[in-house]
Amino acid sequence: MRLKGNRFLVIGRAGMDLYPDPPGTKTEHATQFFSCLGGSSANIAVALVRLGCKADLVTCVSDDAIGRFALNELDRYGVGRRHVRPVGGEARTSLAVVETTIEDHQSVIYRNGAADFEMTIADVEAVDYGAHDAVIATGTVLAAEPSRSAAFRAFDLAREAGLPLILDIDYRPYSWPSAQVAAEIYSRAGEKCDVIVGNDVEFGFMAGDYDKGLDKARALVAGGASLAVYKMGEKGAITITPEGEFRTGIYRTQALKPTGAGDSFMGGLVSGLAQGLPVRDAVLRGSACAAMVVARVGCAPAMPTSAELEDFLARHAGPSAA
């Protein structure tokens, strides 16, 4: 699996994360908070930019102070936002209150009337797909209309432009009317994509049966995908390609929180593929990025730079046994 360049179009939400401060503080005891950019797609875009790629985000944010916060943060990280549209009315940018803890970790996410679900077909048709080398979408964009139809239109336009499609399953049960609907829509999306990344639970939902998640990943590759990565937390990952499959472990680290690992993994994986690295090496870079982010406060601000990633890899002989 090779990507022809490092210019990415990322489709999906940007939000605001609040972390009780100092790290380790429980939300119910907090008197102050640390704010940062959040949202899986925005986090992936930041991860890519920090690893030397270019990323443009396509989404909607609320036309209020929280939405403007997200826009300012995208600017600060160097993520292109010409296709991020503010929307008025009752739409709201997602807000997450996330603890920097492992024990009894709590993440409280507010997504009532989520602004990113207001993305329309017109938004994705305004993009110059020829200016990018691949499209990355997070599965949350598929959970509601008009965002769902817009995402599928973007997939078709990307395909017409000859761009590979990369899907981070990113299943969030609270965003979907039912697991059955999620399974149907995810399967439809997965069949259009070249790279599909998710954890065991997410592939299980995609299959409609947790025990059939790995079979689903294999079926997607057998059906035409170039790559599927089936992540299993501390047990590592199984990577499936048309040539076969292999297992990799994880890099051990002193975790502060469980969040952000998947977004960072995607950034490391995709940037590695853009560099022309073998798939195994790209997967290991993703694993290293994930290990680094869970050991730091925040998600977007925790994403490693290329120099930090190289230093980490130089100091770690390899991941744990798969």
- Residue linked to tokens 């995208």: 74
Pairing type for strands 33-38 and 54-62 reads unpaired
**pLDDT above 70 for 195:** yes
What's the CA gap between 46 and 145, in Å, rounded? 26
Q: How far is CA 135 from the centre of its chain?
A: 12
**What phi, psi does 313 have (nearest 5°)?**
-65, -35
**pLDDT above 80 for 115:** yes
Q: How confident is the model at residue 284 (pLDDT cuts 50, 70, 90)?
A: very high
Q: Read off the pTM.
A: 0.97
* Cβ neighbours around 110 below 10 Å, total: 15
Pairing type for strands 244-248 and 227-231 reads unpaired
**CA distances from residue 259 to 102, 179, 181, 318 in whole angstroms, order as listed:** 10, 22, 26, 22
Average pLDDT over residues 132-145: 97
Pairing type for strands 15-20 and 33-38 reads antiparallel
pLDDT tens per residue across span 202-242? 999 888 888 999 999 999 999 999 999 999 999 999 999 99
Residue 49, token pair as written in the block: 């930019």
- DSSP for 73-132, written as a single string: HHHHHT-EEEEEEEE-TT-B--EEEE-S-STT--EEEE-TTBGGGG--HHHHHTS-GGG-
pLDDT tens per residue across span 231-280? 999 999 999 999 999 999 999 889 999 999 999 999 999 999 999 999 99
- pLDDT score of 322: 52
What's the CA gap between 228 and 194, in Å, rounded? 8
Helices (H), 226-305: 261-274, 279-294
Q: How confident is the model at residue 1 (pLDDT cuts 50, 70, 90)?
A: low
What's the CA gap between 270 and 275, in Å, rounded? 9
What's the CA gap between 90 and 69, in Å, rounded? 17
**pLDDT above 90 for 96:** yes
In the chain, which ranges are E strands?
Answer: 7-11, 15-20, 33-38, 54-62, 80-87, 95-98, 107-110, 134-138, 165-168, 195-199, 227-231, 237-241, 244-248
- pLDDT score of 207: 87
- pLDDT score of 209: 85
Task: Output 173-182 pairs: Cβ under 8 A, ≥24 positions apart.
Answer: 174/109, 174/111, 175/111, 175/114, 175/140, 175/143, 175/144, 176/143, 179/205, 179/208, 180/208, 182/143, 182/206
Average pLDDT over residues 31-47: 98
Average pLDDT over residues 99-107: 94
**CA distances from residue 256 to 22, 74, 98, 299 in whole angstroms, order as listed:** 12, 25, 12, 12
Domain boundaries, the chain: 7-12+40-59+117-315
- pLDDT score of 319: 84
- pLDDT score of 321: 58
Domain 7-12+40-59+117-315 CATH (choose: 3.40.1190.20, 3.40.50.10070, 3.40.50.2300, 1.10.1740.10): 3.40.1190.20
- DSSP for 264-282, written as a single string: HHHHHHHHHHHTT--HHHH
pLDDT tens per residue across span 122-134? 999 999 999 999 9
CA-based nearest residue to 45, from 109, 194, 148, 37: 37
Average pLDDT, the chain: 95
Average pLDDT over residues 285-314: 96
User: 3-class SS at 21?
Assistant: coil
CA atoms within 13 A on the CB side of 114: 27
Return left, alpha or beta for 157; rule: phi > 0 is left, psi -120 to 50 is alpha, else beta: alpha
Average pLDDT over residues 78-98: 97
- Residue linked to tokens 């997200």: 70
**pLDDT above 60 for 170:** yes
